Amino acid sequence: MIAGYGHTKFGDLGRVTSRELVVAATIEALEMTNLNRNQIDSIYLGMLSPDIFEHQMHAAPGIPDYLGLNHTPSTRIEAACASGGLSVLHGIMAVASGFHDVVLSVGAEKMTNLPTSHTTEALAMCADDIYEVASGITFPGAFAMMARAHEHKYGTNAEMRASVAVKNHKHALDNELAQFRKELTIEKAMNSLMIADPLTLYDCSPITDGAAAVIIVPWEDRADYEGIRVKVKSFSQASDTMSLHDRNDLTGFMTTKVAARKAFDRASLQPKDIDFLEVHDCFTIAEIMAIEDMGFFEKGKGGQVTLDGETARDGHLPVNASGGLKAKGHPIGATGVSQIVEVAKQLSGNAESRQLNDVQYGMTQNLGGSGSTIVCHILERGD
């Protein structure tokens, strides 16, 4: 179960290191429980590229070092933008197997040290370098192709995509940790700077610093811990080809379909049982495809249902009540852990002004690369 969580502010955080951000998030998580840091058995760190962003390889030992936990095993997990989700998944498996009793799963990234062009180049390394990057394709270009394919096949237009950004910016107004707490109109989103046709500036998530952490302990020992009690109902992972040209369909991700189906089967649940979602909206089209591929809406209807308000906080199925990557921010390694933190907040009744009513199950979808890695978690409100 998730017994505690921590989360730094997301944004351009200036002269601070990822290690310092991890320490801040971890201390907050520990303060929610009756644990002291010496009780942590193992650490799983989700982080994309400390070598490029901070000129630091071998980043994992820096975490126990800064936490004063010498000799505590610490492992870095890298799966592009799904690094954080996988750090949680591996923490869960370590506890569920009985190998560890207390695990810290944490994610972080310090991205604003570099100019935007350098950051874009670093992120492009998560795509297929041989066939895509060498041809000049960056992630905005890759997701632009997906947006065009979805538009051609299903009629998903710029207004529908913009409605994702408008919704998530509105949600972020109530998240004091979000990078962008400002309202957005459909018109402004649609008429903003073109990044990769048809995706404009407001179709894209930002460059962000930040960290998020969760403490994972055995559910059967919940009486021994203070803090929250959020049960891990299921988790799953799926992989696909690195290159888009090897896939049969660009209007969705088979990885999302497979991972979501596995998560539902393991939890003995169906999409109708889930009360809210945190999905990977690195680009607005990614959220639209996610809610379709996970089985919550008919394929091709994701854009329209978003425009109609069904995925708003007061809608039929709230999606990204935190503000999502689009407005909350996207510090790569921290993103998947941040999704888990938001779900844990909602299920424990700690989401303050953005608290959803009467929620029992929340689900996350964390995406790496061009959908080459997908991680899903389903969490349940504890007793």
Per-residue pLDDT of the chain (383 residues; tens, 9 = 90+): 999 999 999 999 999 999 999 999 999 999 999 899 999 999 999 999 999 999 999 999 999 999 999 899 999 999 999 999 999 999 999 999 999 999 999 999 999 999 999 999 999 999 999 999 999 999 999 999 999 999 999 999 999 999 999 999 999 999 999 999 999 999 999 999 999 999 999 999 999 999 999 999 999 999 999 899 999 999 999 999 999 999 999 999 999 999 999 999 999 999 999 999 999 999 999 999 999 999 999 999 999 999 999 999 999 999 999 999 999 999 999 999 999 999 999 999 999 999 999 999 999 999 999 999 999 999 999 97
- Which of 195, 224, 253 is at the close of a domain? 224
Annotation says 118 is catalytic: no
H/E run at residue 153 = helix 139-154
H/E run at residue 53 = helix 50-54
Residues 25 and 150 in one domain: no
Residues 302 and 169 in one domain: yes
Tokens 């109530």, residue located: 174
Domain count, the chain: 2
Strand 230-239 to 373-381 pairing: antiparallel
Provide the 3-class DSSP secondary structure of residue 249.
Answer: coil
H/E run at residue 28 = helix 18-31
Q: How many CB atoms lie within 10 A of CB 368?
A: 27
Residues 214 and 199 in one domain: no
Residues 108 and 254 in one domain: no
Distance CA(250)–CA(237), nearest Å, equals 20
Q: Which of 315, 49, 60, 302 is nearest to 171 (CA)?
A: 315
For residue 120, is it within any domain? no
* Residue 224 backbone phi and psi in degrees, to 5: -85, -5
Residues 45 and 108 in one domain: yes
Residues 294 and 323 in one domain: yes
Determine which one of 7, 150, 169, 330 is catalytic: 330
pLDDT given at position 383: 75
Helix, strand, coil percent content, the chain, rounded in steps of 5: 40, 20, 40
Residues 105 and 146 in one domain: no
Distance CA(230)–CA(69), nearest Å, equals 26
Looking at 235-355, list the stretches that DSSP marks H as alpha helix, in order from N- to C-terminal side: 254-267, 284-293, 302-307, 324-328, 332-347
Q: Quote the crossing angle between the two packed helices 139-154 and 116-124, to the nearest 10°.
A: 70
For residue 186, the Cα-to-chain-centroid distance in whole angstroms is 24
Tell me the residue type at 108. Answer: A
Distance CA(35)–CA(184), nearest Å, equals 42
For residue 121, is it within any domain? no
Annotation says 282 is catalytic: no
Determine which one of 81, 126, 204, 376 is catalytic: 81
Both tokens assigned to 8: 């730094």
Residues 180 and 294 in one domain: yes
- What's the domain range around 268? 126-204+232-381
For residue 133, is it within any domain? yes
Q: What is the CATH number of the domain that holds 269?
A: 3.40.47.10
Residues 131 and 276 in one domain: yes
For residue 37, is it within any domain? yes
